[in-house]
Structures are given as structure tokens and as C-alpha cells.
């Protein structure tokens, strides 16, 4: 099922929780709504689910306005942060529930329900726990039951609200893999809400970055991480170095350095901030480049597959953070206290409209 969100706005009293949201989700896509607390993610998800109504705008499922569809036609599966399992039912009965309560004319037979539930429980590797009650499960196991339960009714749309938010980091990671795998197996159009950038970057086909009830940027994980279109997205998704300075004739003057900008800005001048991701800072001992920044290395540490280098600029004492691959780090063989040159590979400046 494709989902079109057209010009959705929602107010709570005078508070604008969502403002003119436009978003099209393709059939079979896995999309993350990512943003800080209060940015409107849950409100948007609830409106898509039909649990909340919008003040303005329309939601279309496969080109049909959702208000013309009854609950059965919507075929939405839901997974919440707090499992919402039935405590008095076994794992098996929790997963079977949605099938058992179907109208008589479309209800599967007992044997069909049993086969379906067993298939799903084996998919989420919980077949050995079918007769347990929710209280006898770990958080991660409960959330896998919740996923199996949502999938049992073969939804056309799967909506997940911070599904792994209450779990510890290791279990979260494991469940992300589950979600991705289940999605790849079933191709259900899925939207999940998260405030965890790493989770969104890791799992989603596309990320919708939200801030204060509006969409800041929509794009693939690579697009939003490597090519942020707003300062907010730079700051919210990952680490960033900021160069405060003055923009003149396509160059940013910061500290005692000038950096030529790749996207020009020849016509504008004024105070400006340059943004650059740690992996776009090149470290070199070569002094031939005229726009080099002199800096002293004060910390080098490996984090997973990358090496993080913290430096101090010597012209203005500002902090810089660079990220190298292990190979780059091995070749450079930096020592703490050493003076090196830093070159920003991609310095991005956002020009305020009032320049
Ligand atoms: P979180 O990550 O904290 O859940 P969110 O991005 O999902 O945040 P929403 O839950 O959509 O944000 O809330 C957006 C804003 O709307 C918040 O400021 C919230 O306080 C407000 N809000 C949400 N529901 C209501 C309500 N029923 N009445 C009044 N204000 C509400």
C-alpha cells in the first residue's frame, strides 16, 4: 500500500503540533520519522493510523482517502513502545488474537490460525515460548511477540512507535535487524518513529527528519547524513564541526584562514557558519595547501571501524573532530601533541535570507 500525506496540520489549542506535512511513502518502503522529543512524530503516526484526526489535509492509502475506509480496509498493524500485550494471554494467544476476532465470514479456521501463529513465532524465534505469559518474557522477547502479533493479520501498513525505545542498546540493535529482516521478507509499507539517529540510519530506506512540527528534510540515510539541507539536520544527525566566520566573495574567513566554498555564495556577504562532518576533515602534514588550518592533535581513539581524532586549532583554539578510516589512521600514524594541517573537504554554509 502506498501512503500519501497531503498538507496535514494539527493544533492542540494554540500549539501547532504539525504544520503542512507533505510526504509520499512508496509501497513496500521502510521509512523512519526521526526527530527530537515534541517534534510531532507520534502525532503524525497516530493521524496516519486514524487514531487521531488532522485539522487540515488528507491521508491517502493507495490513492483512496483514509476517511472513506473502515478499519478493516485500512489494514494497519501497530507496534508501540510499551508492548501492549494482553497479560492474561499466552504468547500464542496474543499472536492469534487479531485472527480470532475477525468477522466470522473472513475468520480463518482453528487449524489455519494455529499454522499461521506457529509460522510467525518461528520467524521471530519464539516458538519454544508459545505457552509463556508476557510477564515471563524479557523486554526484547515481548517486542518480538508484539511484532508477530502485528504481522499476524497481514497488514498492508505497519506503524511502529518507538518500538525498541524501552530496551537496552544491545537488544535494540538485535531487534533492528529483526525489523529489517521482517520488512524484507514481507515488503509491508512500514513507518517507524524514533528519536535515535543511529537507529534510523541503520534501518530505514528513507528518513524523514522532523523538527517543531515540520519536515526539515527527506532522504536516504546517505543523503540526510552526508548532504544535510539545514543546520538542524547537520546538528541532529551525527557530529559536526562548526566554523564561525564571515562570508565574502565565495570564501568563509574563520580564525586566520579562508576557505573557498564549493557552492560559491559569490553574491552574499556577512556573518556565517560553515558546517563540516568529521569524516570530511582531511588531516595532512603537507604544507602546500594555502587554505590549511594548523591544529594540534590531543586525542586519538578507535571507535568500531573508525578512528576519531580530536584536535585544537592553533589560530583560535577551537576544537575540531576528524574521523579517519583505520587504514588512513595507520598511514598517518598521528602522535598526541603533534602539529598537523586540517583541510575541510566539504564546507557547507547556510546563508540566512536576511543577508
Ligand atoms: P516524543 O518523541 O517525545 O514522543 P514526538 O515527536 O512524538 O515526541 P508528539 O508526541 O507528536 O511528539 O507531540 C508533539 C507536540 O504536541 C508535543 O509538544 C506535545 O506536547 C503536543 N501534544 C501531543 N499530543 C497532545 C495532546 N493530546 N494535547 C496537547 N498537546 C499534545
| Residue 162 and residue 212 share a domain | yes
In the predicted structure, residue 167 carries a pLDDT above the cut 80? no
Average pLDDT over residues 150-169: 86
pLDDT at 355: 41
In the predicted structure, residue 354 carries a pLDDT above the cut 50? no
| Residue 229 and residue 244 share a domain | no
Atom nearest to 39 CA in ligand 1: 6
Mean pLDDT of the chain: 90
Write down how long the chain is.
355
In the predicted structure, residue 353 carries a pLDDT above the cut 80? no
Using alpha carbons, select from 280, 324, 279 the residue that is nearest to residue 302: 324
pLDDT at 173: 86
Using alpha carbons, select from 94, 177, 85, 88 the residue that is nearest to residue 139: 85
| Residue 299 and residue 220 share a domain | no
In the predicted structure, residue 140 carries a pLDDT above the cut 90? no
Q: Is residue 43 included in any domain, yes or no?
A: yes
Average pLDDT over residues 336-352: 90
Distance 14 CA to ligand 1 centre (A): 13
Q: Which helix (H) or strand (E) segment is 194 a member of? A: strand 189-194
pLDDT at 282: 95
Q: Is residue 354 included in any domain, yes or no?
A: no
Average pLDDT over residues 337-344: 96
Q: Which of 182, 210, 235 is the last residue of a domain?
A: 235
| Residue 227 and residue 132 share a domain | yes
Q: Whose CA is nearest to atom 1 of ligand 1?
A: 37
Q: Work out how many domains the chain is built from and give that number.
A: 2
pLDDT at 84: 79
Residue 300's pLDDT band (boundaries 50, 70, 90)? Answer: very high
Q: Is residue 132 included in any domain, yes or no?
A: yes
| Residue 61 and residue 11 share a domain | yes
Q: Whose CA is nearest to atom 20 of ligand 1?
A: 38
The CATH number of the domain holding residue 341 is 2.40.50.100
Atom nearest to 213 CA in ligand 1: 14
Q: Is residue 355 included in any domain, yes or no?
A: no
Name which of 61-75, 82-96, 150-164 the model is least confident about. 61-75
Distance 194 CA to ligand 1 centre (A): 13
Q: Which of 187, 219, 235 is the last residue of a domain?
A: 235
**Residue whose CB lies within 8 A of the most ligand 1 atoms, among 33, 40, 199, for a mutation test:** 40
| Residue 296 and residue 228 share a domain | no
Q: Which of 235, 264, 286 is the last residue of a domain?
A: 235
| Residue 53 and residue 81 share a domain | yes
| Residue 106 and residue 42 share a domain | yes
**Structural domain of residue 256, as residue ranges?**
240-349
Q: Whose CA is nearest to atom 29 of ligand 1?
A: 12
pLDDT at 75: 84
> The complex's ipTM?
0.91
Q: Is residue 127 included in any domain, yes or no?
A: yes
Pairing of strands 189-194, 30-34: parallel
| Residue 247 and residue 229 share a domain | no
Q: Whose CA is nearest to atom 2 of ligand 1?
A: 37
| Residue 148 and residue 25 share a domain | yes
Question: What is the CB < 6 Å shell around ligand 1?
Answer: 12, 17, 35, 37-43, 195
| Residue 251 and residue 162 share a domain | no
Report pLDDT digits (tens) over 6-60: 999 999 999 999 999 999 999 999 999 999 999 999 999 999 988 889 999 999 9
Distance 285 CA to ligand 1 centre (A): 50
Q: Whose CA is nearest to atom 18 of ligand 1?
A: 38
DSSP category for residue 223: H
Distance 8 CA to ligand 1 centre (A): 15
The CATH number of the domain holding residue 17 is 3.40.50.300
The backbone region for 319, taken as left when phi is positive above 0, alpha when psi lies in -120 to 50, beta otherwise, is beta
Average pLDDT over residues 246-263: 88
| Residue 117 and residue 72 share a domain | yes
Report pLDDT digits (tens) over 84-117: 789 999 999 999 998 898 888 888 899 999 999 9
Q: Is residue 143 included in any domain, yes or no?
A: yes
DSSP string, 86-142: -TTS-HHHHHHHHHHTS-GGGPPPHHHHHHHHHHHHHHTT-GGGTT--GGGS-HHHH
Residue 83's pLDDT band (boundaries 50, 70, 90)? Answer: low
Atom nearest to 193 CA in ligand 1: 7
Distance 213 CA to ligand 1 centre (A): 9
Average pLDDT over residues 127-156: 90
Q: Whose CA is nearest to atom 11 of ligand 1?
A: 40
Q: Is residue 259 included in any domain, yes or no?
A: yes
Atom nearest to 195 CA in ligand 1: 2
pLDDT at 71: 65
Q: Are 257 and 293 in contact (CB under 8 A)?
A: yes
Q: Whose CA is nearest to atom 23 of ligand 1?
A: 43
Q: Are 155 and 188 in contact (CB under 8 A)?
A: yes
Amino acid at each position: 500500500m502506498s501512503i500519501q500525506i497531503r498538507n496535514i496540520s494539527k493544533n492542540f489549542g494554540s500549539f501547532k503540533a504539525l504544520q503542512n506535512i507533505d510526504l509520499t511513502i512508496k509501497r513496500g518502503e521502510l521509512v523512519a520519522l526521526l526527530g527530537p522529543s515534541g517534534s510531532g512524530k507520534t502525532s503524525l503516526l497516530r493521524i496516519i493510523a486514524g487514531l487521531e484526526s488532522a485539522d487540515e489535509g488528507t491521508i491517502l492509502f493507495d490513492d483512496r482517502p483514509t476517511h472513506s475506509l473502515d478499519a478493516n480496509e485500512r489494514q494497519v498493524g501497530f507496534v508501540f513502545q510499551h508492548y501492549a500485550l494482553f497479560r492474561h494471554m499466552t504468547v500464542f494467544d496474543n499472536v492469534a488474537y487479531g485472527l480470532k476476532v475477525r468477522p466470522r465470514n473472513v475468520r480463518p479456521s482453528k487449524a489455519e490460525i494455529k499454522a499461521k501463529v506457529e509460522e510467525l513465532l518461528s520467524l521471530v524465534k519464539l516458538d519454544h515460548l508459545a505457552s509463556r505469559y508476557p510477564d515471563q518474557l524479557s523486554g526484547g522477547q515481548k517486542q518480538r511477540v508484539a511484532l508477530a502479533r502485528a504481522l499476524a493479520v497481514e497488514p498492508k501498513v505497519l506503524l511502529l512507535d518507538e518500538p525498541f525505545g524501552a530496551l537496552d542498546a544491545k537488544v535494540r540493535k538485535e531487534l533492528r535487524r529483526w525489523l529489517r529482516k521482517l520488512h524484507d521478507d514481507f515488503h509491508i509499507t512500514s513507518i517507524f518513529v524514533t528519536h535515535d539517529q543511529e537507529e534510523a540510519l541503520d534501518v530505514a530506506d528513507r528518513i524523514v527528519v522532523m523538527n517543531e512540527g515540520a519536515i526539515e528534510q527527506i532522504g536516504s540515510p546517505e543523503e540526510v547524513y552526508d548532504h544535510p539541507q539545514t543546520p538542524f539536520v547537520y546538528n541532529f544527525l551525527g557530529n559536526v564541526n562548526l566554523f564561525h566566520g564571515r562570508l565574502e566573495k565565495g570564501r568563509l574567513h574563520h580564525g586566520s584562514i579562508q576557505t573557498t566554498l564549493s557552492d560559491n555564495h559569490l553574491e552574499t556577504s556577512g556573518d556565517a557558519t560553515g558546517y563540516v562532518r568529521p569524516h570530511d576533515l582531511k588531516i595532512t602534514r603537507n604544507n602546500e595547501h594555502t587554505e590549511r588550518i594548523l591544529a594540534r592533535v590531543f586525542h586519538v581513539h578507535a571507535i568500531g571501524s573508525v578512528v576519531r581524532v580530536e584536535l585544537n586549532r592553533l589560530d583560535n583554539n577551537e576544537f575540531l573532530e576528524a574521523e579517519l578510516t583505520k587504514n588512513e589512521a595507520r598511514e598517518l600514524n598521528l602522535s598526541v601533541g603533534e602539529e598537523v594541517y586540517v583541510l575541510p573537504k566539504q564546507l557547507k554554509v547556510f546563508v540566512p535570507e536576511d543577508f
